Amino acid sequence: MTGAEILVKSLEREGVDTIFAYPGGASMPVHQALTHSKKIRTILPRHEQGGAFAAEGYARVTGKAGVVMATSGPGATNLITGIADAYLDSVPLIAITGQVASPLIGKGAFQETDMFGMSLPVVKHNYLILDIADIPRVIKEAFYIAQTGRPGPVLIDMPKNVQEAKARPVFPETIDLPGYHPLPTAEDAPLRQMLDLIAGAKQPMIYCGGGIVSGEASAELLEFVERTGIPVATTLMGVGGFPENHPLSLKWLGMHGTVYANNAVNEADVVLAISVRFDDRVTSKVERFCERATIVHLDIDASEINKNKPVQLAIQSDVKYALGRLNAMLEEEGKARVPHDFCAYPAWYAKIRAWKEQFPLSYRKSDKVIQQQYVVSLLSEMTQGKAIITTGVGQHQMWTGQFYEFLKPRTFLTSAGLGTMGFGYPAAIGAKVARPDVEVVDIDGDGSFLMNVQELATAHIERIAAKAIILNNQHLGMVVQWEDLKYGSNRAHTYLGDPKHKEQIYPDYVNICAGFGVKCERVLHKKDLRDAIQRMLDAKEPYILDVMVPYTEHVLPMIPGGMSYKDVITDSARSKLTA
C-alpha cells in the first residue's frame, strides 16, 4: 500500500466516517486514496478554516475527534486558527497536513511551512512523519491523545514522498505511551475533605465548566447536586452541562453572565470549582474573585490547578470518576437524591431568589423593532430547547447564552476561549453532518457570518440542512458597545454597511445566498418573525434568515474588564452605556 492508502486505512480503523478536506499539491495522494474508501465521507469545504470549524462542530456534538485535512503552506496555515480554537476549548481534533517532500524540508520549497514548529503552542501533541512505517502507529496514538484526558487537537504533518512511498503496513493493536496518564482518579481522602467542607458550609456554590461536557459527567453532576442541594453556575463552555430549567440552575457567570450567578459564586463561603480554569472572562479581577470563599478545584489537568487562582483544596481527577465516587459516598451517608423541593440551605436559597427577582435576565421590549433578545427567546420557545445551537462571536453569542434555554450537553457550540468570528456556520455544518436527526441552527451576527460565508456552497452541494439566523445590525455590535462605554460612541471602523447609501442593506444576504443556491429571506417586522422561523425550521435544506435588528442594543448585564462583580452594569444603569 502507498503511505496515503495506509493513512486512509488507519483512519477507517479509528472509526472515522467523515473528513473535511481541501486538496492541494502536497495532499493529492491522500485525496486519491480517499476516493476509494467505502467508509469515509469526504466533504470539501470552501476554505480550510471552514473545514477546521466544521470538524470542530462534528467533534463538539459527538465527543469523537473531528478530522480535517489541508495541503502544505497556505492550506496548512489556514488551519491554524481552527486548531487554536480547538486547543483553547479542549476539543478533540485531528488535523492532517500535506508537506513538501522530506528532502526539501527546510529548503524554502514552494508552499513549504514548518507546521510542526508553527503549531506547537496550540496543539496537545503533533507529529512529522518521515518514515512510512510510522503511519499506523502515529494515527492510533493521535486519536488516543486527542480523545482522552483533557481533549485537544493533534497535528499530523506528512510529506508527499511519504504519502507516495509503498510498504506493507503493520497496524498496532495497543498503544505504548509510558509518560501519558490521561485518566487520573482521585483518592477517597481529598474527596472526603471536600464533603467535610460542604457539611460545614452555609452558602456553597458549584462553578463548573466545559470539562463536565467533555468528560461526559452531566448525569453525575445532576445526581451530586440533587444529593447535596448546592446551586450551580456554569461557564459559557459548561452551558448545557447542567439543565437550565432545574431549580438550582443559576445559568452562567462571567462578564455577561447573570447577576445572580456572579453574586452567588462571589459571596459563597465554599466554592466547588469543577472542570474550570478560572479564565479572565469569568473571574475578571482574579484576586477579587471568590475572595472570601474556601475553594475546591477539581480538574483532570494538573497544570490548571493554582495557575490563575490559588485554591485551598486541589483534586486532580477524571471528573466523571470523582463525581461518581462522591455520589457513592453520599449514598453511604444516607444522603438521598431529591429532584425537587430542596431544603438544605434555606437562607441561601432565599438570598439567591431575591437576586433573581431583583436582577432577572430582561430587556426593554419594543414593538417598533425586532430586538435580538426576542429572536433568541422565540427560537428557544419554538424549538423547545431541543435544537443544537452554534454561534459566531459577538453580542449575538452572549444573547444566545442568555436567552436560549439549554437543557442537554453538546447542544451549545461556541468559540469561547479564542473568540473566533466565522465559527458559527461551518460549525453548524459539522454538527448537522454528525447529527442529521437534530435541528441545527447557527445564531450569528452579520460581521461574523460573512467571515466564512463561502461555506454556504458546502452546505448546498453536500445537501447539509444547516440553518442560520443572522442578527443583522450592520455593525460590529460588541465593539460598538465598548465604543459607547469607553470612547463616547465614536465609531472607529465598526460600521459594516455602505456609508454612502445607508438606506440600503449591505451586503445583501438574500442575493448572496441565492448565488450559492441557498434559500434566504429577510425579516424586517416583528409580526413576520414567527412565521419566518417556522419556515426555516420546516425546511429540509440549508435556510438562512436575515433578521434586521437595531445596533443600539447592548448586552447586559456586563462586568467591565478588570473590575469585580460589584461593578456590574445592569439594565437600570443603561445610561452609562449610551451617549
Q: In DSSP terms, which residues pair with 42 in a beta bridge?
A: 19
Instruction: Give alpha helix (H) positions in 247-371.
Output: 259-267, 280-283, 319-332, 346-358
Please say if 160 is a catalytic residue.
Answer: yes
- The Cα 117–Cα 128 span in angstroms is 10
Q: What is the 3-state secondary structure (H, E, C) of 18-46?
A: EEEECCCCCCHHHHHHHCCCCCCEEECCC
Task: Give me the catalytic one of 32, 111, 193, 454.
Answer: 111
Establish whether 48 is a catalytic residue.
yes
Written as nine digits, the cell of 417 is 476561549
Rg of the chain on CA atoms, in Å: 24
Question: Is 110 one of the annotated active-site residues of the chain?
Answer: yes
- Which one from 48, 56, 226, 244 is the annotated catalytic residue? 48
- Note if the bond before 346 is cis, omega within 30 degrees: no
DSSP state of 472: E
Three-class SS of residue 330? Answer: helix
Q: What does each C-alpha distance from 136 to 6, 142, 173, 295 come to in angstroms?
A: 7, 10, 10, 44
Widest Cα–Cα separation across the chain: 72
Q: In one letter, which amino acid is 289? A: F
Active site residue 478: yes
Q: Residues 6 or more apart from 54 whose CB is under 8 A from it?
A: 20, 43, 45, 66, 68, 426, 427, 429, 430, 433, 455, 458
Kindly tell me the sign of the dihedral angle through the C-alpha atoms of 531, 532, 533, 534: positive
Cβ partners under 8 Å of residue 493, min gap 6: none
Catalytic residue, candidates 64, 140, 160, 309: 160
Look-up of cell digits 460581521 = 447
Cell digits for 128? Answer: 512529522
Catalytic residues: 48, 110-111, 160, 478
